[in-house]
Structure 1
Amino acid sequence: MIDIINNLNFTLYEPATREEVIEVEKEFGFKLPNVYKEFLYVTDGLSTNESISIFGTDEIIDMNRSYEVQKYADGYVAIGNSGGDDFLLMRSDEIVMEVIRVDCGVMNPAYAHPFAEDFIEWINNGAVDPYDLDEDDEEQQLGRLILIGPPKNGSSDLKIIKKAFDIQYRAFDILKGYKNVPFVLTENVVIDQALEKIKSLGELGDLLKVEKV
């Protein structure tokens, strides 16, 4: 049961109607997760003080269309975002409970991170981003991201890496660089976050390392 009405950290909206939810399902051609629909019947969208947004019935259609979620993450639906850079995805299945997080620029569940095992429990407990917890205000350590080996698939692999780390190099410059590794792809990355992204890239991550500045 969704129990969020008295949470002062949430911005809530009028509940969605069953007709509005049915229209979303017609638009997508599949059933939304039951737990997400239960949420919509409490509030048609939500935002928190900690940069989490859960889409309402209008926004979910616009965001999934704009980012072509069903094309690049077939079998999933984006139900929210974290910090504006990552989508929160759920399987397009009525009984699913789990939420995963994926970079908007990659949009591939193969590179996703676990986010919440139980959508309702996560919402009721404050919709906290598990990757954005304070660490006693410790200063974040910065480093440089280095390509240490040539990718097997050349420019297509480099495109995935470029999107994952929001690298601003022109593709031509990176193509020249990967033929002469090690090659610094970008400076001043947050080390902990970069290591998480490297891990999410699987075999591609083996071609990268982070070096403290």
Structure 2
Amino acid sequence: MVNNKLINEYEINYGMRIPNLYKDFLKVNDGFSFDGGKILYSLNDLKEMNDNLQIHKYQPDYIAIGDDGGGLVFLMKQEANAEVVFLVDMSDYEIETAYKKISNFNEWFNRGCNIDTEENEKNNKLSKIGSVYLTKKPVNGIKDLAIIKQIFNLNIATSQLLTISKTLPCELLTNIKYVKAIKLIEKTGQPEIFEFRLNK
């Protein structure tokens, strides 16, 4: 049976900080499996799964507490008072572009760790993949194109970008998440000259 002593020894031995909410969960359940493949890791599984997922490499301030068995990993901040759970894509572990942000672990667990809810459907576009198009000419011409090239990290010469931009709309980024695309577009200072189009 998991108790405070075992958890404290585990944290010291493996250099991990387990949030208090998850400690309380472990002392009662020590892991949990749901229908459909979702799982919350037991104390003994935490180290192995975090190593396998390389969380320490990509998100060293976070700890993986579970996954959905289909590409989403559940992360919590390695802080005693952490409550938020981030459902992140296993391909990049990006917190800013998390598929979903759960405000409180306990409430989420009591609801069966539901991932797709009516509320989430409204925000589902955030996880969609699409392309960014330049639909209008930038205000300062080639000067702005050079800035766009840098912000978008485009692997083409500015002169080539100028040529492409003469035929609008022109596709600049492909297979990019909506939320990431919007952040890049906003950095240009001219969001009105771009358009995000979802992949069909």
What TM-score do you get using the length of structure 1 for normalisation? 0.60
Q: Which has the larger radius of gyration?
A: 2
Residue 144 (structure 2) aligns with = none
Contact 2:181 2:196 in 1 (8 A): no
Measured in 1, the distance between the counterparts of 2:61 and 2:179 equals 23
Q: CA deviation at 1:82?
A: 2.2
SS in 2 for 1:61: helix
AA of the residue aligned to 1:182 = E
- 2:179 is aligned with 1:199: yes
Cα distance, 1:50–1:208 mapped onto 2, change above 3 Å: same
Cα distance, 1:60–1:145 mapped onto 2, change above 3 Å: same
Displacement over 4 Å in runs of 4+: 183-186, 204-208
SS in 1 for 2:178: helix
Measured in 2, the distance between the counterparts of 1:103 and 1:61 equals 20
Same amino acid, percent of matched pairs: 25
Residue 96 (structure 1) aligns with = 82
SS in 1 for 2:197: strand
- 2:12 is aligned with 1:26: yes
AA of the residue aligned to 1:100 = F
Cα distance, 1:120–1:72 mapped onto 2, change above 3 Å: same
Q: CA deviation at 1:58?
A: 2.3
Contact 1:52 1:83 in 2 (8 A): yes
SS in 2 for 1:110: coil
For residues 144-155 of structure 1, the aligned pairs below 5 Å read: 145-146=130-131, 148=133, 152-154=152-154
Measured in 1, the distance between the counterparts of 2:11 and 2:38 equals 23
AA of the residue aligned to 2:48 = D
Q: CA deviation at 1:203?
A: 2.5
Cα distance, 1:40–1:209 mapped onto 2, change above 3 Å: same
AA of the residue aligned to 2:133 = I
Measured in 2, the distance between the counterparts of 1:74 and 1:37 equals 19
Cα distance, 1:147–1:42 mapped onto 2, change above 3 Å: same
Q: Give unpaired runs (5+ residues) of structure 1.
A: 1-14, 136-142, 156-178, 187-193
Residue 16 (structure 1) aligns with = 2
Contact 2:32 2:41 in 1 (8 A): yes
Q: CA deviation at 1:30?
A: 4.2
- 2:98 is aligned with 1:112: yes
Measured in 2, the distance between the counterparts of 1:43 and 1:85 equals 24
SS in 2 for 1:101: strand
Q: CA deviation at 1:202?
A: 4.4
Residue 74 (structure 1) aligns with = 60
AA of the residue aligned to 2:178 = I
SS in 1 for 2:96: helix
Q: How many residues are matched?
A: 159
Measured in 2, the distance between the counterparts of 1:201 and 1:27 equals 41
Cα distance, 1:24–1:105 mapped onto 2, change above 3 Å: farther
Q: Give unpaired runs (5+ residues) of structure 2.
A: 122-127, 135-148, 156-162, 165-169, 186-193
Q: CA deviation at 1:103?
A: 0.6
Q: CA deviation at 1:183?
A: 7.7
Name the structure with the higher helix share: 2
> Could you list the per-position Cα deviations for residues 97-121 of structure 1 after superposition, in whole angstroms to 9, with x for gaps in the alignment?
1111111111122222443211112
Residue 86 (structure 1) aligns with = 72
